[in-house]
Structure 1
Amino acid sequence: MTDIQAQSIPMALKRRDVLGAARTGSGKTLAFLIPMLEALYRAKWGPQDNLGALIMSPTRELAIQIFDVLKSIGRFHPYSAGLVIGGKNVSEEAVRLSRMNILVATPGRLLQHMDETAGFETSNLQILILDEADRILDLGFSKALNAIISHLPKSRQTLLFSATQTDSVKDLARLSLRDPVTITVREEQALNIYTPKNLAQHYLVCPLDKKLDILFSFIRTHLQVKALVFFSACKQVRYIYETFCKLRPGTSLLSLHGNQKQTKRWDEYQRFVSVKHAYLFATDVAARGLDFPAVDWVIQVDCPEDAETYIHRVGRTARYKNKGQGLLFLLPSEEEGMLKALKKKDITPEKIIPRESKTMSIKDKLQIFAFESHELKYLGQKAFINYVKSIYLHKNKEIFKVSELPLKEFAVSLGLPGAPKVKFIKASTSSSKPKPAASTKHVKFDHHSASDGNNSDEDSSLSSDPPEDEDKAVAEPRDDNAEDATPENGNSAAKPTVRTRYDRMFQRKNTDVLSEHYNKLIEHEDDEEDDLLGGGHAPEDFITLKRVDHELPKDLEMDRVILETENMSKRKQRRLDSKKALAKLAPKFAKKMIFDEEGVGHNVHTYEDDENFRKSDVKAAVQKYADVKRKQVQEADAGDKQIAKEKKREKKRKRKDKERAEQDDIQVVLGTERNEDDGYVSPEFDLPSASEDEGPPSKRPKNTEASIPEDSSKRDASWFDADEQLALQLLEGGS
């Protein structure tokens, strides 16, 4: 057994609550599955006892992985185990749920079944297990977790395991733990308790606009490896995956993020597990608990949110006794703060410097792709916007400094001709009067690129000077579709710059982003957050790993609230308003109309008042309705019979025509044989007998002088006389 297994299994068998913390890949899954099976076996648990053990995980992939391990080690037990995750059929799960003894689930779908599925009983639950407990205990999952805990009995046993864990008194009280045992494993040869000892950790410092160049160069020089590449947003993963596939680096590329459908996510996961060499572009949905075999590199292109996220990302390699390497990309503004945060966890990665001679530039090719495809251009803009948004909303401002980002250069590196208009304005908070629209405190990003030739120095994509109050930054959009944009200083007489056709192309609005090709390219483009509690539908909250909903400063709290409402496009807002207006004007009960030959509309079904209905003769109405329907059926039956007779008659006619044609062919062949005369006549020949006279007369040679009467009544003496005369003439001529 590993250290975490040797220390936690005995305590769990004693029915003690356990808080286990050990590095990734140390065997924590078996550390809680073995005591769970043993506890049910000792309790002589049977199918009639309903649910006995419940295992929760934050992501679907981790839940599937735990379920596979459970099937492999529990196949000799008579227990029934089930997997309940989002993306599956709720009704099919509900049918089998009442017969399950062990359940592996994600919190959102589990809570939905607890609220909606009849017969799902948890009053006899013996053991509750939370894998990656620190993630489940995040504030974003608190409501769902509290609701689930309220359904469970207090006499249960609780096991919590994770690579990084908090022992906050508030969190433990919320889970109602009873005198828990904290187990923290520290290996003697390891530098720290969080990262594997066989992991070689490196980092490099590069500008924001050089990240993709270095990443593509790394892939081209490391083709025979299996690597995980982490980004901060789903739209970044989509854009980089699509563009890198067009660049054809020479190895397999895969993508995994929360906006994919469940079947697509599972296919990509299985492909990466089975292949030997590939690169998987992923978000933090793949950062926790997943056991990918033989991963050589973990590359973090975007800086992780905190040290805990870094630990979970690099934990996908160097699992158990295997070796692995990790590479972290840091911006010059992120280096000091991130290294300081990692040092608190006793993590000291080694700095490396990439070779300039080995670095390939791909920004020109990306710009060509954006020029040729509106869809890729739109994806690049969304990737840009979401990256800036994620940096702005990160809690640790010592690491993430949005004002120091070279956004214009970053947009060029993505293939865009210019960065979406982002402007920082200081919002006034001293006045109690309503704020004007220009100074309203919000963050909004433009989806359209600004032309380089149309921007003055003051009107550039991002001011290089930091604002006086960074937390009060405002990003305003700019309309780049006007032919002659007026500078912000109000000087309408400013001389417009020359705009080429390339500038015009990049300034066009993406009106075709919802085309058929775009829908094939991008599976999901709905940016709205899903319901956390999963009320009435399968919640997607645990498909997409959201950022920890930490407490923002007061100045940023309003920014975040307004950001969620302002992120909706004007087109979507108008469509939503029109739907609401139509819903108010719509009738209470929908009516279906039919139109007669004159074009007058009538309701399909008419209803009488209750009093008039009771006064009328119901039996007579029923009999009348039955008579009408019976007559209709009889008419339809008669028509069907007539059609069947015509078909039968036509079939008989065709059969007779076919037989007649075959008979004619036979007669023609026989006649041809009789007409073949080589001039020789046998002296001995038979005359036709009386029995042979019944059939039609045979054809005679053309050179005969005798004629054959057509009337059968005359075919007696004249027929024989003609033959005799012919025979005599032939004999005389031969003699």
Structure 2
Amino acid sequence: MAKKQRLTTSQRKDLRKKEDEYLENLNKKIEEYDPNTSKTILFKDLPLSPPTLKGLNGAAFLKLTDIQRESIPISLKGYDVLGSAKTGSGKTLAFLIPILEKLYREKWTEFDGLGALVISPTRELAMQIYEVLLKIGTYTSLSAGLVIGGKDVKFESERLSKINILIGTPGRILQHLDQAIALNTSNLQMLVLDEADRCLDMGFKKTLDAIVSNLPASRQTLLFSATQSQSLGDLARLSLTDYKTVGTMDPSKDKTDEGAATPKTLEQSYVETELADKLDILYSFIKSHLKHKMIVFLSSSKQVHFVYETFRKLQPGISLMHLHGRQKQKARTETLDKFSRAQQVCLFATDVVARGIDFPSVDWVIQVDCPEDADTYIHRVGRAARYGKKGKSLIMLTPQECEPFLKRLASKKIKLGKLTIKQAKKKSIKPQLQSLLFKDPELKYLGQKAFISYVRSIYIQKDKEVFNFESLATEAFANSLGLPGAPKIKIKGMKAIDRAKELKNTPRQLLALQQANDEGEIVKDKTKAVRTKYDKMFERKNQTILSEHYLNITQSQAAADEDEDFMTVKRQDHQLNEEELPALTVPTSNRGQKKALSKKASLSTKGNATKLVFDDDGEAHPVYELEGEEDFQKKGSAEAQKKDFLSKESDVMAEVDTGDKQVAKEKRQEKKRKRLELMRREMEMSLEEEEASSGEDVANAYVGTGNLSDDMEDEEEGNNTRKRARFSTATEETTHESDAGILELEEPETLEDLESLTSRLIQN
């Protein structure tokens, strides 16, 4: 491969001159471009750079949407933008394209540091923005990074120094601003807030204020959302004074349906039902829509967990998934990927996926619990009917919520059609839930937590006209979850609830640092007992099914301990009398200090340390104690005691020696028996082989003497005279010798009989 030729100085100057001329012409086109007069339809008609246009074509982004047509030219001119548009209208490209163009025209490199910062309220939305940026920014020389909770902080901080575009959630961005040295925002050109109304609310207020305080005031700021907040206080926090308002939510729009926040292709409807019938309707709906892709929204993560686990056991016939903020980041990412690729699936989720997430081909959006306001409703239903596609939505409203909430939607120009449920298709699952919770204590615990979380969510709602806490049918709702009764709930004050919301959105490390700064130290009282999660669980009498059993066990055990006091403390005088203690003096000489600090030197004057043992009464005694002289004389003279001791020890040794000899004898006999048995088996095998080879009659076969040692001696001496031994079966106690040379002997029973037989045969 041929090497690329180096450019000369004049050639480099010509290239830089051409680039400057191109950028100058591009800036002129941007200034001259008027979105009101020009009817631009395609991205290539906009004054964009070649790398950006190439990336858009490669990602199949060709046509402009309304929000893109209105906002991109204004953003390119350097104005601050407050943009609002319907869900699924392409707001992500409306701020990513100006970022790429801004840094391209500024000739941004990796050495210039951070040029653009994009803040998203949720991790899933930040990941989606990052993926879109990778697609359209493929042909640029800019670098991008994603920082979200649940990832390795050290891994992220090591790469921040070379990142030009940073995308992340507020908590993790603030953490890097406080801890990462490589993150420098002094040269920031653009700040983007996606779903700006969520980023500006009370949950992220302090976090966002801390981030903005570290950014230069000369930056360009873009705010985008489907439901935009135009509060002067919120805009002043971001230093937005001279800004342009663009999008379909512009107040200048007429009062027709064109100003509605939801897409025209979305078919919206509602069902008026009692709170206790919601799960029955949901299960019946899922059973009748098994060939669809749907998202079911609930108000809390505990409800999502409970409904997911119970419906999995009921097996409605469709793939089920769940997603909420308490899951690990890896599980959340995998669920998003699986749900995006699936075609027939039901996802139970909280509002963590209600904003900005682009799920392809969602057929239905079901809202089991009423959202807190109309804006949340708009974001939820926006997961369907995206980019002009058709979709449907269904919301379940109680009779107390129905009329006031429909008024809230009507103020946003949103009209819903009423649906009636056919009783023939409605199926009650209350008996099945009661059976499941009776068999599985964990499901019962989840049901109690789901009940409590829903009741608390109603209590903390600000719109009391829609959410009437006093009218809740708690007993009926508890029965619908399969619980035998409504658990008792301890409701905290509103200040404590607001504090809990604030802590929920604050990173844990920042909380630890704040606590350390406020108190001066993280832990002051070391004697404070450490309470584990199990201790907290057992203390919740009304929220856990295990607490009553646990308390019964502990109380009965405590009573048993009081009744059966089988251990007593004998020593109780542990108090020290300071007057009896020796006075402590500080040595002044070097020798005295060395002796006091050295363990070896301090023991030199006190003698060797002695080991003590304690008797049954708790008295300490040395290991070896000397007997008194008087006690010794009472036992007799020294010589008599010596002889007595030696005689006793001699008897013990003799007894032990006898036992050892008997054991040794048994071992020798056993060893000899095994050796003779082995030789006998070898001889029998050799005889069988000879009989098989000779073919002689069995009656004339050589039997042997019955003693292996005699047979072996006969073979060694070469004696061909074979002796025969016949064992008599009669019970004769004597041995008879016949004249024919045949010995009639008693059958040997023990090893001694065998030895005697052997010796007699040898003599004969």
Per-residue deviation, residues 47-103 of structure 1 (Å, max 9, x unmatched): 101100100000000000000000011011111111000011111111111121110
For residue 443 of structure 1, give the secondary structure of its aligned residue in structure 2.
coil
For residue 227 of structure 1, give the secondary structure of its aligned residue in structure 2.
strand
Partner of 2:208: 145
Q: Aligned letter for 2:376?
A: T
Closer/same/farther in 2, CA of residues 612 and 33 from structure 1, 3 Å limit: farther
For residue 465 of structure 2, give the secondary structure of its aligned residue in structure 1.
coil
Does 2:203 align with 1:136? no
Bigger drift between 312-321 and 267-276 goes to 267-276
Closer/same/farther in 2, CA of residues 214 and 150 from structure 1, 3 Å limit: same
Partner of 2:275: 208
- Tell me by how many angstroms 1:258 deviates: 0.9
Partner of 2:24: none
CA contact 1:191–1:346 (8 Å) conserved in 2: no
- Tell me by how many angstroms 1:119 deviates: 2.3
Alignment match of 2:459 (pick from 385, 388, 392):
392
Structure 2: give runs of 5+ residues left out of the alignment.
1-63, 495-499, 513-535, 542-586, 600-685, 695-714, 720-764
- Tell me by how many angstroms 1:177 deviates: 1.5
Does 2:176 align with 1:176? no
Does 2:167 align with 1:104? yes
Distance 1:367 1:99 in 2: 58
Distance 1:405 1:238 in 2: 22
Does 2:507 align with 1:534? yes
Partner of 1:36: 99
Per-residue deviation, residues 101-135 of structure 1 (Å, max 9, x unmatched): 11001000100110111121000000001000010
Partner of 1:448: none
Alignment match of 2:475 (pick from 404, 408, 411):
408
Q: Aligned letter for 1:192?
A: G
Alignment match of 2:230 (pick from 160, 164, 167):
167
Closer/same/farther in 2, CA of residues 121 and 704 from structure 1, 3 Å limit: closer
Partner of 2:316: 249
Bigger drift between 183-192 and 246-255 goes to 183-192
For residue 176 of structure 2, give the secondary structure of its aligned residue in structure 1.
helix
CA contact 2:404–2:466 (8 Å) conserved in 1: yes
Alignment match of 2:346 (pick from 260, 273, 279):
279
Partner of 1:365: 432
Closer/same/farther in 2, CA of residues 612 and 404 from structure 1, 3 Å limit: farther
Closer/same/farther in 2, CA of residues 256 and 535 from structure 1, 3 Å limit: closer
- Tell me by how many angstroms 1:704 deviates: 14
Alignment match of 2:402 (pick from 290, 313, 335):
335
For residue 253 of structure 1, give the secondary structure of its aligned residue in structure 2.
strand
Q: Aligned letter for 2:189?
A: Q
Q: What are the within-5 Å matches in structure 2 for residues 490-505 of structure 1?
A: none
Q: What are the within-5 Å matches in structure 2 for residues 93-492 of structure 1?
A: 93-185=156-248, 191-421=258-488, 443=491
Distance 1:70 1:333 in 2: 45
CA contact 1:112–1:535 (8 Å) conserved in 2: no
Q: Aligned letter for 1:571?
A: E
Distance 2:591 2:393 in 1: 80
Distance 2:491 2:282 in 1: 30
Distance 2:415 2:165 in 1: 42
Closer/same/farther in 2, CA of residues 380 and 49 from structure 1, 3 Å limit: same
- Tell me by how many angstroms 1:168 deviates: 1.3
- Tell me by how many angstroms 1:404 deviates: 1.6
CA contact 1:24–1:194 (8 Å) conserved in 2: yes
CA contact 2:130–2:146 (8 Å) conserved in 1: yes
The alignment covers a number of residue pairs equal to: 477
For residue 264 of structure 2, give the secondary structure of its aligned residue in structure 1.
coil
Per-residue deviation, residues 224-275 of structure 1 (Å, max 9, x unmatched): 0000000011111010000000000000000001111111111111111111
Partner of 1:92: 155
Partner of 1:26: 89
CA contact 1:233–1:283 (8 Å) conserved in 2: yes
* More helix as a share of residues: 2
Per-residue deviation, residues 333-383 of structure 1 (Å, max 9, x unmatched): 111100110000000100010001100010000000110011111111111
Distance 1:338 1:53 in 2: 40
Q: Aligned letter for 1:534?
A: P
For residue 98 of structure 1, give the secondary structure of its aligned residue in structure 2.
helix
Distance 1:612 1:165 in 2: 79
Closer/same/farther in 2, CA of residues 534 and 704 from structure 1, 3 Å limit: closer
- Please give the TM-score of this superposition, normalised by the length of structure 1: 0.60
Closer/same/farther in 2, CA of residues 336 and 614 from structure 1, 3 Å limit: farther
Distance 2:445 2:169 in 1: 33
Distance 2:716 2:464 in 1: 123
- Percent identity, aligned pairs only, is 55
CA contact 1:296–1:324 (8 Å) conserved in 2: yes
For residue 470 of structure 2, give the secondary structure of its aligned residue in structure 1.
helix
CA contact 2:66–2:247 (8 Å) conserved in 1: no
For residue 475 of structure 2, give the secondary structure of its aligned residue in structure 1.
helix
CA contact 2:70–2:247 (8 Å) conserved in 1: no
For residue 320 of structure 1, give the secondary structure of its aligned residue in structure 2.
helix
Structure 1: give runs of 5+ residues left out of the alignment.
423-441, 446-470, 472-526, 540-567, 574-608, 622-670, 680-702, 708-735
- Tell me by how many angstroms 1:529 deviates: 7.2
CA contact 1:192–1:347 (8 Å) conserved in 2: no
- Tell me by how many angstroms 1:569 deviates: 6.8
Distance 2:592 2:245 in 1: 75
Task: Tell which structure's C-alpha radius of gyration is larger.
Answer: 2
- Tell me by how many angstroms 1:532 deviates: 4.0
Distance 1:612 1:219 in 2: 89
Distance 1:16 1:6 in 2: 15
CA contact 1:190–1:196 (8 Å) conserved in 2: no
Distance 2:325 2:80 in 1: 33
If asked which structure has higher relative contact order (CA below 8 Å, sep 6+), I would say 1
- Tell me by how many angstroms 1:397 deviates: 1.0
Closer/same/farther in 2, CA of residues 72 and 705 from structure 1, 3 Å limit: same
CA contact 1:317–1:324 (8 Å) conserved in 2: yes
Closer/same/farther in 2, CA of residues 172 and 612 from structure 1, 3 Å limit: farther
CA contact 2:87–2:382 (8 Å) conserved in 1: yes
Closer/same/farther in 2, CA of residues 255 and 46 from structure 1, 3 Å limit: same
- Tell me by how many angstroms 1:184 deviates: 2.3
For residue 258 of structure 1, give the secondary structure of its aligned residue in structure 2.
coil
CA contact 1:333–1:400 (8 Å) conserved in 2: yes
Distance 1:106 1:411 in 2: 37
Does 2:129 align with 1:66? yes
Distance 1:140 1:266 in 2: 23
Distance 2:590 2:344 in 1: 79
CA contact 1:58–1:107 (8 Å) conserved in 2: yes
- Tell me by how many angstroms 1:570 deviates: 7.7
CA contact 2:203–2:501 (8 Å) conserved in 1: no
Q: Aligned letter for 2:394?
A: L
Does 2:129 align with 1:45? no
Distance 2:718 2:279 in 1: 108
Does 2:539 align with 1:571? yes
Closer/same/farther in 2, CA of residues 222 and 612 from structure 1, 3 Å limit: farther
- Tell me by how many angstroms 1:393 deviates: 1.1
CA contact 2:447–2:482 (8 Å) conserved in 1: yes
CA contact 1:307–1:342 (8 Å) conserved in 2: yes
Distance 1:613 1:209 in 2: 87
CA contact 1:253–1:280 (8 Å) conserved in 2: yes
- Tell me by how many angstroms 1:21 deviates: 0.5
Per-residue deviation, residues 517-575 of structure 1 (Å, max 9, x unmatched): xxxxxxxxxx9974644262699xxxxxxxxxxxxxxxxxxxxxxxxxxxx778389xx
For residue 399 of structure 2, give the secondary structure of its aligned residue in structure 1.
coil
Closer/same/farther in 2, CA of residues 678 and 207 from structure 1, 3 Å limit: closer
